[in-house]
Structure 1
Amino acid sequence: MATASPNPASALYLYGIVAAPGPRHLNVVGLDKQPVRVHVLGSLAFLYSQTCQERYLASRANLLAHEAVLESVMNEGHRTLLPLQFGLVVSSWAQVEQDLVKPRLAELLALLQRLEGKREVGVKVFWDPERELQLGLEENPALKARRDELAGTPLGLEAVVEMGRALEQLLEQRRQHIAHTFTAALVPLASDCVEGKLLTENMAYNSAFLINWEDEPAFAQKVEELDQAFQGRLRIRYNNFTAPYNFVKL
């Protein structure tokens, strides 16, 4: 959708889409501390506020404010919601109808139907690579003995590279074991799963799941069981309530 040169005095900031008629009474504040309102275009209702800026920097405060609007609307009972990307500023409702509603209406309605009764939850798993490497060596005596034998002796480049590759492979195998364990346990509880990127060296697993709203307690219990199974070796960040960004892409 084109967003070039809107006039801040009359431009609109869009947060998300719900099925019409949408919330009747919203008590939610968005960016620039502007009240969030609802505008209906046919079978869709858009959550928006008036803008005070031409563009919004992707700062932590702005990102959290955008997400807070979506979560507030979902908390008020409008659970089936299509979140829009951060920073979407448009000049008029005619632009929204021309650029988004008319060409993509069928897809938008299909996404709303797909999300009916569903929620997104996220699981990020963090580990200590050095600790995992030591545990891996304890379970692989031959490799450990070889590494210890080479320690403190002059090594050629080939030997250094070979040992480095062996240790990297051992560490990756352990990360894959963690990822496979979480996937095997959690995917059967979800209707869909999206695997995310590993954002840091200390992140071993990152996935979003689409589950039934009423199944969240059972999903949370399974995450807890996984945490116990790894006996405190991992740090798990479980987000049980978020707008379903991973499952509404056009």
Structure 2
Amino acid sequence: MTNGLYLYGIFPHPGPQQLDLEGLDNQPVHTQDLDGFVFLYSEAKQKKYLSSRKNLLGHERVLEGAMEHGYRTLLPLQFGLIVDDWSSVQAQLTHPQGEALQSLFHKLEGHREVSVKLFWEQDQELELLMQQHEALRTERDRLEGKALSMDEVVKIGQAIERSLEDRKQQIIQEFRATLNPLATDVIENDSMTPAMIYNAAYLIPWNEEATFGRQVEALDAQFEGRLKIRYNNFTAPFNFARLN
């Protein structure tokens, strides 16, 4: 039983010609040419797909599989998009948003998305801060062992918090100064955990990834193990395929 069509992404015409990919629920992936846009889809076997790790990875695997076959100009669609028929896609997307879709294809052509997520150990950074910030260390040591008033507790806490924030911003600025000039566009996203201090996606020329990757490695070496860097150099361009 089918519950409609599950959509993965859109390519410019003529799109992929011979893809052998398996989508969600082990369904074969097909293409549909619609108004000059080529949709990647499979039959939906569920009315709604839960955003489980398995399903999310299955969605991304289809997109990355198409890119690995050389079809790199791709607008990924959000996870869980099911339509009843192609006429609804025309009415809601290709007819009203056709020009915007073409503009996105133009922006993405010859480019790829990479991402950098930075993590630090706050306790380790606090210890380094105290080693390097003599005035703050002296003030902390002076108060150690004393019965402190609430004002004193708040004052030293705020001073430490400001100094930690300054250290974080210095790291972020170093990454911006090094990596942003290599990118056509940059999107900074919210941090996902307290330990994550920076989360950015970069749109870079497809063949410049090796250069970008070397700069990430150089930054990693520069901070001498203070950071954990999660670098993703191959992903569908979710951050840059947004309709205004």
TM exceeds 0.5? yes
Q: TM-score, normalised by structure 2?
A: 0.98
Aligned to 2:125: 132
Q: What one-letter code is carried by the residue in structure 2 that aligns with 1:88?
A: L
Q: Identity over the aligned pairs, expressed in percent?
A: 50
Give distance in 2, aligned partners of 1:140 and 1:97. 62
Alignment partner of 1:146 is 2:139: yes
- The Cα of 1:226 is off from its aligned counterpart by 0.4
Say if 1:178 and 1:205, in contact at 8 Å, map to a contact too: no
Question: Structure 2: which amino acid aligns with 1:116?
Answer: E
What 5-or-longer segments of structure 1 have no aligned partner? 1-7
The SS at the match of 2:114 is strand
Q: Which whole-Å deviations, capped at 9, do the CAs of 1:140-197 have from their partners, x for residues lacking one?
A: 1111111111122111111111111111111111110110000100001110100111
> 1:10 Cα shift?
4.7
2:187 to 166, 169, 194: 194
- Consecutive unaligned residues in structure 2, runs of 5 or more: none
Q: TM-score, normalised by structure 1?
A: 0.95
1:13 counterpart = 2:6: yes
- Aligned with 1:96 (options 89, 97, 122): 89
Measured on the aligned residues, the alpha-carbon RMSD in Å equals: 0.9
Q: Distance in 1 between matches of 2:189 and 2:219?
A: 19
Q: Distance in 1 between matches of 2:3 and 2:241?
A: 28
Question: What is the deviation of 1:135?
Answer: 1.1
Residue among 171, 174, 182 paired with 1:181 = 174
Q: Distance in 2 between matches of 1:122 and 1:171?
A: 24
C-alpha displacement at 1:133, in angstroms?
A: 1.3
Contact 1:125–1:236 (CA under 8 A) maintained in structure 2 = yes
Task: Give me the whole-angstrom Cα distance separating, in 2, the residues matched to 1:57 and 1:36.
Answer: 19
Secondary structure of the 1:119 match is: strand
Aligned mate of 2:104, from 101, 111, 124: 111
Count of residue pairs brought into register by the alignment: 243
Please tell me whether the aligned partners of residues 178 and 204 of structure 1 are also in contact (alpha carbons under 8 angstroms): no
Q: 3-state DSSP class of the match of 1:16?
A: strand
Which residue does the alignment assign to 1:22?
Answer: 15
Distance 1:161 1:17 in 2: 54
Tell me whether 1:218 sits opposite 2:224 in the alignment.
no
Counterparts of 1:10 and 1:19 in 2: how far apart (Å)?
A: 26
Equivalent AA in structure 2 for residue 137 of structure 1: M
